[in-house]
Structure 1
Amino acid sequence: MKKVINDIIVVGAGASSLSFLHSLVNKVKPNEHFNIIVIDKDRDYGCGNAYKDDVSTNLLNTKAGYITIDKEQKGDFFNWLKKNESNWRSEFSDLEITVDSYLPRPLFGAYMRDKFDTLIKDSLAKNVRISTVKGEVVNVQKISNLKYTTHLSCGLKLESNVVILATGTSFLTKDVCKLNDNIFNSPYPLKKRIGQIDQNDSVLIIGARLSAIDTIVALKDNGHKGKITVHSRSSTFPCVRGTQDRYLNQFLNINYIEQNNIKINIENLKALFDKEMANYLKENSNVELANESFAIKNCVVGSFKEYLLNELEMASKPRPWQAILYDTNLILSYIWNLLADDERKLFMKSHLSHAMAMRVSIPELNARKLVNYIDEGNLEFISGSCVVETSAANEIKCTLNGNEQVYDKVIYATGSPRDLTHSDSILFRNLNDSEIIGNNEYGGISVCKNTFQVLTNNGHVNEGLFALGEITNGTHLFNSALDIIVSHSSKCSELVLSKISA
């Protein structure tokens, strides 16, 4: 019997996987034939961890009219909503949708699932066969430059010319979190967590980004009465998204930087931002804007309620710095890789938490809910050091800035660990042990910045092993936004096609 060697195996079936496949299929030439296998632990193909069928209070932080999996189809998600309303309206009966709505992430997940299913069907007409396998990938073994064996936990082994690691979010290991029945290494799925937490429990949420806010809102909207404490090591908390429209940067873009031979460092980036801000104000001189200056300190919380109220006031109008910041998404990797190592180290140490709080903003609706929870006396914000220990009696003791507190439940809402040795992924532990991958000092695994090929522990290029998404955050700094994922996936698909078509 002839052994089947697949052209491509994609590990993971979330946004990176879908956008890679979508881009690749659209680039396939009429005379080419490819066989692709997508492997994921769940059968929820297309949505990944971010957009799973979970509680409806998990909101997108991008307006419905701007988010899409297809960069050639602006407003694709919003158009899909109108065209397929009969398929989702019963589940979201009271939902009002406009291009400016911040909609439930599970609804976007339905869009992604439909796109995945449609892609599988449409790809056959282009001689591309996409098959799906439900299973957990535990290792990838390199046989030669363009020959790999993918190992599944069930014992199945699949061979291919190329492997794409598009694994999405991972969580902290049991050892790092000291997991037990009352300590969780992830908030998700929140439908499950809500059932595991008594409504009168005192809950400590470690982390203060979007997943922490998801957790707070989900618990409170489902009747939680106990005290909820959210912990931010850096004292920062996400900003609230303003009402501004999209803006195209005139100075913070590759063309301007290269044409003017601008050396990329933190000081020059600040100068470029100042020029951009002046231009934005000039172009919007007739618009009433938020009365604020661009300042990193805006994200540092003193009084939690005062911080949120100030953010809500600022977000009631267009916020120029947000418009400028969001338009840098597609040049972040370019800028990051031009910074000198000492500047990158400085940024990671002193600015990353503040920058993330500014970049990953929250909808006004969630900010107002948080203010209400504070007024009810059931939500507090703390910052600084935090050490979690479990006593012999299974009591959770947390030392916060030297003061010991006892909680009924602890939830880690810290996102993917930048250090993959702390990840709960069996796959990456095995890949680390075999040295087929190398850890990036700034987070995730090391990949070629332009080709997305994975680098070994010794810095050698794996010709047929590629990586996309959060596991490449050390190379690209930030790649959680969908427009970044789509851009990276498109570039990666071009090189993959060149490899398997040669």
Structure 2
Amino acid sequence: MGLLGRMLARADEFRRAPRVVVYEPDNLGHGVAFGADLESALINLPAGRMSMDPGDPDQFARWLDAAGDAYVPRQVFGEYLVDEFWRAVGQARALGWTVDVVPETVAALGKGSANELLVRTPAGVRSFGQVVLGVGSGTTADPYRLSGASGYVVDPYPLAATLPGIAPRSHVLVIGTGLTAIDVVLGLLHLGHDGRITLASRTGILPGPRPQIMPLDPKHLTIDAVRRFESLGLGDVWELLKLELASAGFDADTEISWLLSSASATERLRYQLDRLDAAPIQSIFENLETPVPPMIRAALSADEMLKVAFDYKPYLKSIQCPMPPVSARKLLAVMDSGQLVVAPGITALRHRNGRFEAVARESVPAAEVVIDATRLSPRRTKGRARGLLDSLSAERLASWNSFDGLIVDPRTGRVVAAAPYRLFAYGEITAGELYYASSLPAVVRGANVVAAELVRHDNEVGS
């Protein structure tokens, strides 16, 4: 849906009317994430930052008829996505473009003649000169192999289907402490659950509350600064961040110590909520020039990238993937009451005598219900995209980085290993486990890059 919109934004640049085929068996336009669900499941960006048109940032807020700082239920945003999709289809067809929507699952991708790609579905095979992958998030991980155990919820979505059947006084243990886990907690509270809830993960680090982003102008973490290093190391990156913090008038050591703090989840959340108007690290990250993060990732050695992934990822993800402040306040209230407990250091989870027993840093009471709120990367998914992803490797159309991200050329979105075939990808499948590419702004940026390359190629072929 994002790609069609970005192509339409460049409609007058195409020499020939594009022919577009969209394969989606269900959840057309909104995907699983924004389907019908409990009202407690909120978008994690304010409405003013959820427009599908980067040139019109207030589009969603106008559609919603709400203030730009509102956090609304995800299903409402899903309705907007569906409206936008069909509006884009109608606009494209009015321009003479061919747009077909095929309600089928792509089972495999193969190589055809003349550098064409073969798309296989249960209904047959079609060939295309260009294919774009927009695969969504992976399935739940089931890290302790408990699928099938009585009381084990293998996937929490839709919350409206999985949560109402849970006994209100039961102890619910949620595997994971990310945004999905937050959805589960808020969903249970929304339905009146008054039993204990435990969030258990290796780190126990929650998403931070989304702060007010200060309009900082980076002076040290810039394209020119990164280019000046003959060999950029992780230590250099930390020093550049410290210089940015100092330039903005903040004590760098204090800010970084809280970013990497070993404080309890309750202490971290309380500290973050008290400083929603003074969050310099998030503000620096959000004001970076778009090429800077990939430049840094490309410059770091393999060993340093592993250190980032395994030592710093939980802390970075907590500010990359924040939750609405209203959600954070609800969580802090039930943490203070003792109903919600965050248990770091989980190493095992067993089903015994009808109950679930967790091994963590501190003792966790046995639970009657366990909900898996973890997620595999798209590459490891067990869902319906499995056949497609397997075919990419079998046909040597894909290469993956160490963190399960599909390697693409950031300038064009083309899948590097597929050349000379014109295969593209954007969104979470290109991110792996190291950085976030499935947020709406990141998806729109990725779609814009691909659209620009489609235009360039059309002009090259048509000239």
TM-score (norm 1): 0.81
114, 122, 125: which one aligns with 1:157: 125
Q: How has the CA–CA distance of structure 1 residues 26 and 314 changed in structure 2, closer, same or farther, with 3 Å as cutoff?
A: closer
The C-alpha deviation readout for 1:298-345, integer Å capped at 9, x for no partner, is: 465644333322222122x33222211222372322321222222212
Instruction: Tell me which amino acid in the other structure corresponds to 1:146.
Output: N
Taking the aligned partners of 1:488 and 1:215, their CA distance within structure 2 comes to 29
The C-alpha deviation readout for 1:48-91, integer Å capped at 9, x for no partner, is: 23322322222222222233211111222212222xxxxxxxxx
2:139 maps to 1:171: yes
Greater strand content: 1
Q: How does 1:170-319 map to 2 (within 5 A)?
A: 170-172=138-140, 177-180=145-148, 182-258=151-227, 260=228, 263-281=231-249, 293-295=254-256, 297-298=258-259, 300=261, 302-315=263-276, 317-319=277-279
- The alignment covers a number of residue pairs equal to 455
Taking the aligned partners of 2:2 and 2:434, their CA distance within structure 1 comes to 17
Structure 1 unaligned residues grouped into runs of 5+ = 1-17, 83-96, 282-288
1:297 Cα deviation (Å)? 4.3
Q: Secondary structure at the match of 1:20?
A: helix
Taking the aligned partners of 1:492 and 1:347, their CA distance within structure 2 comes to 28
49, 56, 59: which one aligns with 1:73: 56
Taking the aligned partners of 1:355 and 1:462, their CA distance within structure 2 comes to 36
1:276 Cα deviation (Å)? 2.2
2:411 maps to 1:442: no
Q: How does 1:17-416 map to 2 (within 5 A)?
A: 18-28=1-11, 29=13, 31-42=15-26, 44-82=27-65, 97-144=66-113, 146-152=115-121, 154-172=122-140, 177-180=145-148, 182-258=151-227, 260=228, 263-281=231-249, 293-295=254-256, 297-298=258-259, 300=261, 302-315=263-276, 317-328=277-288, 330-331=290-291, 332-390=293-351, 395-401=355-361, 406-416=366-376
Instruction: Tell me which amino acid in the other structure corresponds to 1:323.
Output: S
RMSD, aligned α-carbons: 2.9
Q: Secondary structure at the match of 2:398?
A: coil
Q: Secondary structure at the match of 1:356?
A: helix
489, 494, 499: which one aligns with 2:447: 489
1:370 Cα deviation (Å)? 1.0
The equivalent of 1:5 in structure 2 is none
Taking the aligned partners of 1:144 and 1:195, their CA distance within structure 2 comes to 53
1:390 Cα deviation (Å)? 4.0
387, 393, 413: which one aligns with 1:452: 413
8 Å Cα contact 1:39/1:133 also seen in 2: yes
The C-alpha deviation readout for 1:339-390, integer Å capped at 9, x for no partner, is: 2222212211211111111222222211111122224432111011332344
Taking the aligned partners of 1:235 and 1:329, their CA distance within structure 2 comes to 31
Taking the aligned partners of 1:51 and 1:345, their CA distance within structure 2 comes to 33
Structure 2 unaligned residues grouped into runs of 5+ = none
Q: Secondary structure at the match of 2:330?
A: helix
TM-score (norm 2): 0.88
Q: How has the CA–CA distance of structure 1 residues 301 and 103 changed in structure 2, closer, same or farther, with 3 Å as cutoff?
A: farther
Q: Secondary structure at the match of 1:322?
A: helix
8 Å Cα contact 1:390/1:396 also seen in 2: yes
Taking the aligned partners of 1:421 and 1:170, their CA distance within structure 2 comes to 7
Instruction: Tell me which amino acid in the other structure corresponds to 1:60.
Output: I
Instruction: Tell me which amino acid in the other structure corresponds to 2:390.
Output: R
Taking the aligned partners of 1:433 and 1:145, their CA distance within structure 2 comes to 19
Q: How has the CA–CA distance of structure 1 residues 72 and 475 changed in structure 2, closer, same or farther, with 3 Å as cutoff?
A: farther
Taking the aligned partners of 1:133 and 1:278, their CA distance within structure 2 comes to 54
The C-alpha deviation readout for 1:451-472, integer Å capped at 9, x for no partner, is: 322244xxx5352221111111
The C-alpha deviation readout for 1:250-283, integer Å capped at 9, x for no partner, is: 332325544x5575332222222223223333xx
Taking the aligned partners of 1:476 and 1:398, their CA distance within structure 2 comes to 27
Seq. identity, %:
22
Q: Secondary structure at the match of 1:453?
A: coil
Taking the aligned partners of 1:296 and 1:329, their CA distance within structure 2 comes to 25
Q: How has the CA–CA distance of structure 1 residues 243 and 404 changed in structure 2, closer, same or farther, with 3 Å as cutoff?
A: closer
